[in-house]
Amino acid sequence: MGLFDSKLSEIHNRLHARDISVTDLVDASFARIAEVEERVKAFLTLDEEGARRTAAELDKQLAAGGERGLLFGLPAGLKDNIVTEGLRTTCASRFLGNYDPIYDATVVRKLKDAQSVTIGKLNMDEFAMGGSNENSAFHATRNPWNADYVPGGSSGGSAAAVAAGEVYFALGSDTGGSIRQPAAYCGVVGLKPTYGLVSRFGLVAFASSLDQIGPLTKNVEDAAYVLQAIAGHDERDSTSAQVRIPDYISALTGDVKGLRIAVPKEYFGEGVSSEVKSAVQASLKVFESLGATWEEVSLPHTEYAVATYYLLASSEASSNLARYDGVRYGVRSSDADNLLDVYLNSRSEGFGPEVKRRIMLGTYALSSGYYDAYYLKAQKVRTLIKRDFDQVFENYDLILSPTAPTTAFKLGEQVDDPLTMYLNDILTIPVNLAGIPAISIPCGLASNGLPIGLQLMGRAFDESTVLRAAHAFEQHTDHHKLRPQL
């Protein structure tokens, strides 16, 4: 059993007893990276010098008996669209291949306040657009359970690094399932918080009304700790919610007796594999044995979610990515004789094919004559989808479903079929459109040896109930204890 298989509370007890040091934890992280990274390829940038310097400072504080933060000494990886002062942030795009930010994102500042140690920046689909990590401009990350398969995306590097034991926890971002889907594919826990609960200041924008930062961990308790550290209002993010932050760790009581669970029939339809259905239905029996009840419900506008999402997200992306013109940010084309050529050639050379595809789709949806037919109509359907969730939550505490229709697919299998790739997010996208929290936790292995994810969705800002139910499930199953053999 490695150091990173221990719970956070166990590691802190060992630190407090001087049984281990923060330097030992950082050594363990880099030793594991040296052992498996060539096969996993989860990282884009490592910061060994900075991590060892931070570890030495924290060890001095530990020896002096100073106050310790919530995530004291824990090695962390950050998705490469979260800006870090002086540490390269590329969004896995050649356009930002030379971008060294001059400030920290709010979540990075909060992790520093909680005294974790940043190990490096993690691979992703370019500008968070993709579900397999194959859209990274630099290299594809591989699934630690089977290197022939994708880790999911766009936070595939974050999920793979946690599953492979390279870091203790990671942060990702979730616009249409980009934390939960890779968490399901890699057999780890992935939490997408309520929109507005965690500051987006310093998160490179993809689709601003959908993006949300959240943790990827090996168990639910650790997810609660990380969320506790990063949640809260931020005046530098105009969409940050001013809500009271509850004690998420105290919410992990293990008690779900009387909990009312809704199971939407649309989430078990065409395309969901029989093995995934069986694993999720077995999970319902676990909740039943713990005293929860469940009933089948309907979320009738689910079938429109994928089309709605790709119109809205692509429209917002086309606007957000307009700033990358070769003048202020990132790479500038050397093959330009005038200003228009600078714009055209820098964007042509800097963006990959999936980013270009979504910019063109979004620009078309926002263009004169088509705005009402596409963008405005999509916004109206988004309202209907949110109402579906609101009505279900009038009578139920949670909604339960698979996280993804299938287990991970093979590298290259869907790279030339973007529509099939988009449909992998069909069970996670509605959550982002509604702005509610959801978590993916492991609930079994398929016959191909790959993990299956269980998704629990909650009311807005009710992460406590989501975490409580997920934690109770973990206490009565062993799925989260399974590890890939690298």
Do the bridges between strand 293-297 and strand 213-217 make them parallel or antiparallel, or are there none, so unpaired?
unpaired
Q: Mind giving me the DSSP string for 389-441? A: HHHHTTT-SEEEEESSSSS--BTTSSTT-HHHHHHTTTTTHHHHHHT--EEEE
Strand-by-strand arrangement of the 117-122 sheet: 43-46, 117-122, 75-79, 169-173, 213-217, 189-192, 438-445, 451-457, 398-402, 260-264, 293-297
Both tokens of 299, joined, read 């979320």
Active-site residue among 79, 121, 192, 218? Answer: 79
Question: At residue 1, what is the residue type?
Answer: M
The answer to whether 178 is a known catalytic residue is yes
Both tokens of 204, joined, read 């490179």
Active-site residue among 29, 158, 173, 178? Answer: 178
Do the bridges between strand 260-264 and strand 398-402 make them parallel or antiparallel, or are there none, so unpaired?
parallel
Active-site residue among 29, 93, 132, 154? Answer: 154
Q: Which residues lie below 8 Å from residue 152, measured CB to CB, with a gap of 6+?
A: 131, 132, 133, 143, 159, 181, 182, 183, 184, 185, 186, 404, 408
- Which residue carries 């890699």 as its tokens? 186
Instruction: Find the radius of gyration of the CA atoms of the chain.
Output: 21
Contact 259, 395 (CB under 8 A): no
Both tokens of 328, joined, read 């202020």
The answer to whether 9 is a known catalytic residue is no
- Enumerate the active-site residues: 79, 154, 178
